[in-house]
Chains A and B, each alone.
Chain A
Amino acid sequence: MALSQKTKETLLGPLNANNPVVVQVLGICSALAVTVQLKPALVMGVAVTIIVAMSNVIISLLRNTIPMRIRIIVQLVVVAALVTLVSEVLKAFAYDVAMQLSVYIGLIITNCILMGRLEAFAMTNKPWDSFLDGLGNGLGYAWILIAVAFVRELFGAGTLLGFRIIPESWYVANGGFYENCGMMMMPAMALILVGCIIWAHRSLNKEEK
């Protein structure tokens, strides 16, 4: 499918040039919390993508009927309803994942990216564009989460998605030379990693500005 220039920008912009995490610095809180391991980061990324895209569409459909004075409340109700739905569905069909993410699913409601996209985009754009915008922003958020989680799980635990990458025999405990980096397990390390990504991103995109 050929995408028009505008569609392309809406969908792909948030992945790089206008990334919600590294450029707009939104959603940092959950980026710290769920990136110790790759699996919760993946599920969180998917859940946020689905919820941003769907709430964007719903708000966009309702945009001409929403009274201005209570628009934030209406947005919040829509987001909260979707988050509750996702949480209920996960509990029914993917109980392990739901338990692992526990409170973070509920905390999607407070993710600034959602309210940001609803306010800045969905309130003034058509449903299809809003859908693409939500998809793009969700994926833009997801890939940062996955990148951070990849580094943290690999160096913090020597595994990826629970599979051992760094051989047991390398460890000091087994007579080797290697030890996991305990710092990677701390939330502060996620902040440092996000900082590094922002740094790399800015220096790569310098000429475009």
Chain B
Amino acid sequence: MNTNSNTYTIVYATVVVIIVAVLLALVSQVLGPRQQANVRLDQQKQILGALKQDISNCADPAALYDSLIKDTIDVNGHPVFVAEIEGDPKFVLKLKGAGLWGGIGGYLALDKDKNTIYGANFNHESETPGLGALIVELPFRQQFEGKHIRNAEGEIVSVAVLKAGTTAEGQEQVDALSGATITSTGVSDMLRTNLSEYADFLNVKSCCGKCCKKQAEGCCQAQEGCAENAEQPECAQPTDTQIVNE
């Protein structure tokens, strides 16, 4: 057979492409659920990391996640994971930004006052190992614990990631990674922009009282099924926060 004729070439190319396409589609179908489970588990592990849970020896992180995370709230398309640790609520915000080579992301856990950082966890797609990639390591992440995202006036100003020796006006700061200026700036920018996107959530004072909806958009709407003359819960100072799970 003449393997150089036009007809043969076209038929050959078509057959090869179809075989490959069918094969890849099949593999993708078969492995899809497993991959999605991996992605979900990875996200859960990252959230647990932001909540300062040590999962290195945890046999079943998914069960731990289920036991800690009580609720997920949607704020203008951004998720807030509501966790409960030792009776105290923590709010985990999802972060997304840009590093040097690719995207970076992370989770920021806030205390119930929606001001103090409880824990932080970062991830990256392709930062330089040993430099920018160090944002995922504990020494960098632990710097954020206990910092405040608000200034003295209560405005959301985020936390700056700065070279040691420089100071930011009116906001708290952590040390940047040496040799990874652009990734560090990326983390700083990511925190600022993402926190401002969560402003609707962060600026609503938490609700209290039994008969109220969880605070998504507004505060303290009466929950469905509540008696009309039920005592309307009032907005409490953030320190009195109580998450209503019923």
> Measuring CB to CB, which residues of chain A are less than 8 angstroms from any residue of chain B?
36-37, 40, 64-70, 73-74, 77-78, 80-81, 84-85, 88-89, 91-93, 95, 99, 102-103, 156-157, 182, 185
Contacts and interface: CB of A to CB of B under 8 A. Distances in A.
Contact of A157 (B39, B42, B102, B130): B130
Contacts of B38: 91-92, 95
Interface of B: 3-4, 8-9, 12-13, 16-17, 20, 23-24, 27-28, 31, 34-35, 38-39, 41-42, 102, 125-126, 128-131, 179
A68 B4 contact: yes
Given A36-B128, A37-B130, A85-B27, A92 B3 contact: no
A89 B130 CA distance: 27
Nearest to A64: B3
A89 B31 contact: yes
Of B12, B38, B129, chain A has the most CB atoms within 10 Å of the CB of B129
Binding site secondary structure of chain A = helix
A95 B38 CA distance: 7
Contacts, number: 75
Nearest to B129: A36
B27 A88 contact: yes
Contacts of A91: 31, 35, 38
6 contacts: A70-B9, A74-B16, A88-B28, A95-B41, A182-B179, A185-B131
Contact of B9 (A69, A88, A95, A99): A69
A180 to B, nearest CB: 8
Contacts of A81: 20, 23-24
